[in-house]
Each structure stands twice: as C-alpha cells, then as structure tokens.
Amino acid sequence: MATIRDVARHAGVSISTVSLALNGTGPVSEETRARIDAAVAAVRYTPNLMAQNLKRGQSKLVGMVLGDAANPFFGRLFGTIDKQISGHEHMLIVANLASDPDRELRTLTLLKRHRVAGIIMTPLRNDPEFAAYLNEIDVPVVLVDQDVDGTALDFVTSDHHRGTEMLTEYLARLGHRRIAYVGGQRSMWVARRRLEGFRAAMAKADIPVEPEFEVVADYSADLAYDNVIRLMSAPRRPTAILAANNYMAIGALQAVTDLGFRCPDDVSIAGIDVVAWSSIVMPRITTVEQPIEDLARVASLWMMEHVRGEAVRGGPRRCHIAEPRLVIGHSCAPPPK
Amino acid sequence: MATIRDVARHAGVSISTVSLALNGTGPVSEETRARIDAAVAAVRYTPNLMAQNLKRGQSKLVGMVLGDAANPFFGRLFGTIDKQISGHEHMLIVANLASDPDRELRTLTLLKRHRVAGIIMTPLRNDPEFAAYLNEIDVPVVLVDQDVDGTALDFVTSDHHRGTEMLTEYLARLGHRRIAYVGGQRSMWVARRRLEGFRAAMAKADIPVEPEFEVVADYSADLAYDNVIRLMSAPRRPTAILAANNYMAIGALQAVTDLGFRCPDDVSIAGIDVVAWSSIVMPRITTVEQPIEDLARVASLWMMEHVRGEAVRGGPRRCHIAEPRLVIGHSCAPPPK
DNA sequence: TCTTGGTATCGAACCGTTTCGATTGGATCG
DNA sequence: CGATCCAATCGAAACGGTTCGATACCAAGA
C-alpha cells in the first residue's frame, strides 16, 4: 500500500511538504499542492491512521462494550452512538460480553492495548474488584444503563426505579392487588433499582408485598416462563405480572397463554423495556420505554468532550438520568372480579 | 502510559531483551525474565498495539459493516461473529450504515485508513461503481447476506430464493390462491432473489400472479402497513400475505388487525426472517429463519483465514449458501371458504 | 548595500515497537 | 589450548507518519 514516501517521490517534493500540504498545517504553494494532489491520486495514497495516531499520541478509536448484542436494546444504543461518534475519522471498536461478566475485564484490557481514546460501556459486573480496576484505568469511561458502585465515572441511565414504579402504580390503579414481580439477579445494580421501585409503589398504594410473588428470573425468557407457570398454577395466583425486562415479559406472556389463560382478560402483563418493534404484535404489551436515543446522545456527547480534551477526568461526577415513558398497550385490564 | 522503555529501564536490561522476553521470540534467562515480569507489573505496562501493528505491518483490527444495527438480525450476526473473531488480540471495528447506501463508500474508506486486516460486510449498494470500488480495494472482504454483482469476493448467505419458495409452497398447500407479496426495493439483490422465489413457487403451483398483489414496501413496517391496508380494503382481496422481511410482516399483521380482520381466520400471514424472540408473541408468525449462527461462523472462519494469510485473494470465489428453515407458527390457515 | 521578514521547502528527530546483525562469555571438542 | 558453538544480550535500523528547527530565496525598508 502506498506510503507518504511514494507520494513525495512522485510529486518531486520532500515528505514533510506532503504532510504539510495534506494536513493544511503549513504554507504550501498552489502549484506544489496541485502536484501533490495528483500524486496522491496516482499512487492511490491513503494515510495510515495507525502511524498518525502513534506519532500524535492520540487515537481515533473509541471502545464500546455491549452487554448483549443480540438484545435489540443494545442494537439501538449502538446504532445511535455510532451515528454520533463515527464522524470525521473516529470509529467505534465494539465488543460484546454476551451477558458473561467474566469477559468484562479481559475486554477492557484489550481495548487499552488498542489505545482507544475512550470507552463507552454497559457494565455487567458491580463489585469492588471491578470498581478498583475502573478507578485505575487511565482512559475516559462513560457508563451507560448500569452503575458501578465506588466509581465516579460519567454515568448515563434512565430512571429504573421510576420505571417499575410507574408500571406498578398503573396496575394498582386498575385495581390489582395480587401483583407478581419477575425480576433480574439481585446483584445487578439495575435489577435492584427496579425491584425497589416496585416495592416503593406497592407501599405507596398500601398493598402488602407477598414474598412468593417476587421471583428472580435472571433476565431470561425461559426462566421467566418456568416461574410464571409455577406462579399461575398455584391455588392463590397473581392477577397481574410485572416483568423487569423485555425477554421476561415475553416469557411470561408465553407461559400464561400456554396455560390457557387469556391476556388481559384473565391476567394482566406489563414489562419494562419491551422495545417498539416487538410491541406492535398482539397483544401490545404495556411497558415503560427507555429513551435510548437520549441516553446515546448524552453518552456520546460526553465521550467526545473527553476525546477532545474538554472534559476533565477527576472532576465532579456527571450523571444523566432520563425519565422513562409509560406506553399503554392492550395487555392490562382490571382484575377479573 | 508506560512504554517498553520504562520496563527496560526498571529491569536494567535493553529494550530488545524486553521485547524478546515478552513475545517469547528469543532466548531469555530465567532470572532476566523474572525481573522483566516484575518491571511490567511495577510500571503497569500494556503493549501499544498500534505500534506493534505498525512495525509488524499487520493489523489486529477487523472491520465490520452493518446494514442496520437496530434490526435484531444484524445484532445476532454481529454477536456471533464477534465471538469468533475477538479472540486473542483481534477486535472488531464496527460501522452502521443505518440503511443509508450513501454512507457505504465513506465507511469503507475510513476502514481502509484504519488499516483493518479485513472487512466483513452486509452491503446495501449493488451497482457497477460500487463493484469497481470493491474490486480495487486491497483488503480481504467477505460479503454476508447480500451479493454485489460483478465482484468475486467471498460470499456467505442463506438461500433467499428457496426461502420465499418454501413459504409460498406452504401457503399454496393450505389452499391459498390469492397470495399477496410484500417485498423490498427491486434494486436490492436480496429483494430480487426473494421475489423470484415467490414467482417460481407460484408458477410451480400453477397459480397466476396478479400484478396488483405484488407490492414494494422497502423493508419498512410503515410502508407495509399502508400497502396492506390498501390491499385488504379492495373488493378482491388476498387470502394470504407473504412479507419479505420481519419489519414488513409485523406491519402487515398490524394492518389486518386494525382493519378488524383476524389472523389466521380471515387472512394468513407469513414472513421471512421473523426472528425467534419476537415470534414468541401471539400469533406466532410462520416464517423461514436464516441460520444466522451458521452464516456468522463461515464468514468469520473465512475472514480469519484471510487474516492469517491462509486464503489467497484472487483465487476462485467461495460461496456458502445456507438452507433456511421453515418454522410453522399460528398465523396461517386454509383460506376462508 | 546590508538588514529584516516572510514564504516555501527540507532534513532530521521522534512516536513505541520489532527484528536483524552484532558482541560477549562460557562450555564443548578435537 | 585454540577453534567452535550456543545462549544471552544489546545497538541500531526500520515501520509510516508529524513537527520542529534549519535553509534558501526574494521583496521591502534603512
């Protein structure tokens, strides 16, 4: 592949002149500039960004770590962030954790070796060892969706607490009192926040939480399915089910349908984050939507500030907490008498 | 950030010895190796991959160009490819075209500047100018899903022709004769193949194709919605609708539902590529599934062969055409009497 | 005529690595 | 005991760029 040297030879000028001309970083006569442009075209020169970055001591690469690429939530998040970042020369180098927290550290180290200018990530782990690693990393990091306790990194999320609260309030207003909650692993920050929102709303509505109605299904459709089969087969069964993510909502819907119940006539179902293009299908599931575009916009904005050196690392922590939006579908109704 | 020089100084050896030791590429005494390891830990050394790549004249970066990151098809494709590629040191640098063909050339050029070792892409454009560009690019390319006429690049896809054929045969077997086809832009390779499969199956079943039943909806749910509203409002309406992708299938389902028809009692709906996690929802749409994991596996395998220099560019063209799988749901039934 | 100053161009050092061709010192061998 | 050989280590030259401090030239001012 052609190098700057080839261009220089072909144009009959020195290497430095070519560099000066191409970057517009020094005075070059009109005539020389024309000869250089011609040479560039003739030898098909494409500047080597690795060499440029090495010399300049900076990088045009931004790392992005996704919790689970197969989940449409992450697809839309990535798409929007990419639109903002992949501008002039910057590009995104993306890694997928596939929901496996063990890959997290290795992935971050690999990104460091690639000398990325910054990292946007949706973390899975939330433990002191991981927090310590993040505190020592010398690359700007913006966390999205989930927090890591004990760090002071920029953080963009939606109000998960408020999200389940809104859905719970809605179900309570419809008259439900036996509301089951299908949640994620308690060790995850987001799962805890969502559970707390549920409990807060239940308390406010003065409904006692029944412990057997609070189940953990690890954000998996299959586990949610099994749990809901169990819940709905018990003599005293819930009249409404609140699932803490899209997969579990669909698993729950599948379970009640397979048992011969109709939704919403026999049982109401609501879910967090059931993204638009699946909720078109019947029955449209009542959900709270995270404003993904908004999250992505703020995350990439802050990242670019870091990359351009405008934001200081170690300054006060920046948090952006977006308000989720209640989208009422056809999956909820007053409880059967 | 610490460089190899810092390690050398700290360990009291020369730079070359450190390099030799770290890469295991020369004899180093046990004792020196220990001192170097200690130094690496002490100064927190992380090798600079940009510098390594520059020197070695290779790159650990593989480019990936996605047609539309928000579509779960691409999310799963990316996730699986990432799992195969992101091995030891390789990583994926991903760009999203957001269905905009104008970004395609610019994106490829940017990847070239980053000196990626190869590019896996799902192309949007399919015209001579684009083919010419691809023929001149000096980076190994593997095409996925869609072909570009006039190139001889490695190509991995599923049998789109066979896919619509299977669905059409299935509808014909159920007794349908008024089958509407909602397809994508004819300029796209995949859209043409799918349309041909439909026509072939219709001919084989000896059903005349009615031109007004072949509509174009650009792979968009909204356009499909509008078209199906029109089709189903006409005096002579189809008894079955075949949608050529997931978005359009959902748009079609939405349209018939909004008009008060029931699916499958009043009208059958089948769609290509309605991915698993949305098809759980009721009614489960009958579909042909692309074996995404298989496509991803072959694509990354071939790419790694190129990266490792095992595959020759300019050799005979390699094609992998996977068989789609018919998944029968609850959205199709014999036509009303 | 001798500075001064600005414009266009160039040479060389450097970014962080790898790698090739020395150099050194001890062990082995005839 | 001198010639060989091998293991361990090092110095220096790249890789493809950027950038700083020359240098050469020419016009303007004293």
Q: What is the pLDDT of residues A31-86, one digit of tens each?
A: 999 999 999 999 999 999 999 999 999 999 999 999 988 888 888 899 999 999 98
Task: Determine the distance in angstroms separating the CA of B138 from the nearest CA of chain A, rounded to an integer.
Answer: 8
pLDDT mean over A81-107: 92
pLDDT tens per residue across span A245-267: 888 988 898 899 889 998 889 99
**Which chain A residues have a beta carbon less than 8 Å from that of B221?**
277, 280
Strand partners, B272: B288
Taking the mean position of all CA atoms in its chain, how far away is CA B28? 46
Cβ of A115 within 8 Å of Cβ of B68? The answer is no
Sequence-separated (6 or more) residues with CB below 8 Å from residue A31: none
Is B132 an interface residue toward A (CB < 8 Å)? no
| pLDDT on residue A313 | 63
Q: Could you check whether the bond before residue A291 is cis, i.e. omega within 30 degrees of 0? A: no
- Token duo for residue A277: 């293009």
Residue A279's pLDDT is what? 43
* pLDDT > 90? residue A324: yes
Q: Are strands A214-216 and A179-183 parallel, antiparallel or unpaired?
A: parallel
At the topology level, CATH places domain A58-158+292-323 in Rossmann fold (3.40.50)
CA gap B244, B210 in Å, rounded: 17
Q: How far apart are CA B94 and CA A222, in angstroms?
A: 31
What confidence score (pLDDT) does residue B273 get? 81
CB atoms within 10 A of CB B173: 10
- pLDDT for B276 equals 54
pLDDT band at A276 (very low <50, low <70, confident <90, very high): low
Sheet holding B118-121, edge to edge: A319-322, A154-158, A141-144, A118-121, A61-66, A91-96, B91-96, B61-66, B118-121, B141-144, B154-158, B319-322
Between CA A230 and CA A14 the distance in angstroms is 77
Amino acid identity at A151: T
Average pLDDT, chain A: 92
Domains B58-158+292-323 and B160-290 agree in fold: yes
Question: Which residue numbers in chain B have pLDDT < 70?
Answer: 275-283, 312-314
Nucleotide with the nearest C1' to B53 CA = C17
CA torsion sign for A95, A96, A97, A103 is negative
pLDDT for position B301: 95
Q: Which residues pair with A182 in a beta bridge?
A: A215, A243
- Residues B225, B257: Cα–Cα separation, whole Å: 10
Per-residue model confidence (pLDDT) at position B70: 81
Amino acid sitting at position A250: I
Tell me what pLDDT residue B254 has.
85
Angle at Cα B14 formed by Cα B8 and Cα B16, nearest 5°? 100
Instruction: Say what the pLDDT of residue A20 is.
Output: 96
Tokens read off for A116: 């990325």
Whether A250 and B280 lie within 8 Å, measured CB to CB: yes
Give the pLDDT confidence score for residue A303 in this predicted structure: 95
Domain map (residue ranges) of chain A: 4-47, 58-158+292-323, 160-290
Q: What is the model's pLDDT at position A84?
A: 93
User: Taking the C-alpha atoms of A298, A300, A302 and A305 in order, what is their torsion angle to the nearest 10 degrees?
Assistant: -140
Q: What's the CA gap between A254 and A328, in Å, rounded?
A: 19
Q: Is the pLDDT of residue A277 over 60?
A: no
pLDDT digits 0-9 by tens, A240-249: 999 998 889 8
Compute the residue count for chain B: 337
What residues of A are in contact with residue B4 (Cβ under 8 Å)? none
State the CATH architecture for B4-47: Orthogonal Bundle (1.10)
Across the interface, whether the CB atoms of A69 and B76 are under 8 A apart is answered yes
Query: What residues does A94 pair with on adjacent strands?
Result: A64, B92
CATH entry 3.30.70.370 includes domain A160-290: no
- E strands in A175-263: 179-183, 214-216, 240-243
The pLDDT score that the predictor gives to residue A281 is 56
Q: Cα-atom radius of gyration of chain A, to the nearest Å?
A: 26
Helix (H) or strand (E) holding B243: strand B240-243
Q: How does pLDDT run across A103-139, given as a tens digit for each residue?
A: 999 999 999 999 999 999 999 999 999 999 999 998 9
| B residues 40-99 closer than 8 Å to A (CB) | 46-51, 53-54, 59-61, 68-72, 74-76, 78-79, 82-83, 86, 89, 91-96, 98
Q: How far apart are CA B142 and CA B318, in angstroms?
A: 9
